[in-house]
């Protein structure tokens, strides 16, 4: 998966932003938290790293073509070292799941806003439209 494919994949997801960090990496975030990193140059060029479920970390890193991500393995991140071993669909599923894992750790308010943008749940009514709370004595 190259940078254009990754940009296209993530472009429609609510709350996603991307930018260059550490001079060599294209970083994708949701709510300010990283969920995918693509190395753009150097010996790790075109390698993608992302978050995985803690219970799948060892299973995935035992597979050829996947290794613990540098500096991020303690947070259950992996790096795809041999992307040719995986189909495009598998790669898209890995990145989407990483997005969902990171989004699930955001505040409830932020999660609700992102889900509303995605059309999964209706957005909460503005405060001015809600009924006022009246205390009974």
The tens digit of pLDDT for each residue in 30-65 reads: 999 999 999 999 888 889 999 999 999 999 999 999
CB 46 within 8 A of CB 83: yes
Work out the average pLDDT over 75-88: 94
Residue 106 phi, psi (nearest 5): -75, 170
Structure token pair of residue 25: 């990496």
């Amino acid at each position: 998966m190259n940078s254009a494919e990754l940009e296209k994949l993530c472009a429609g997801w609510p709350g996603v932003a991307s930018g260059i960090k550490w001079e060599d990496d294209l970083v994708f975030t949701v709510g300010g938290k990283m969920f995918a990193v693509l190395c753009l140059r150097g010996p790790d060029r075109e390698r993608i790293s992302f978050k995985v479920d803690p219970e799948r970390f060892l299973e995935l890193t035992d597979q050829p073509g996947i290794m613990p991500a540098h500096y991020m393995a303690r947070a259950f991140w992996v790096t795809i070292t041999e992307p040719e071993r995986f189909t495009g669909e598998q790669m898209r599923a890995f990145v989407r799941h990483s997005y969902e894992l990171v989004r699930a750790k955001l505040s409830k308010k932020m999660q609700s806003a992102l889900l509303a943008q995605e059309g999964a749940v209706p957005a909460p009514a503005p405060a001015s439209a809600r009924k006022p709370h009246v205390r009974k004595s």
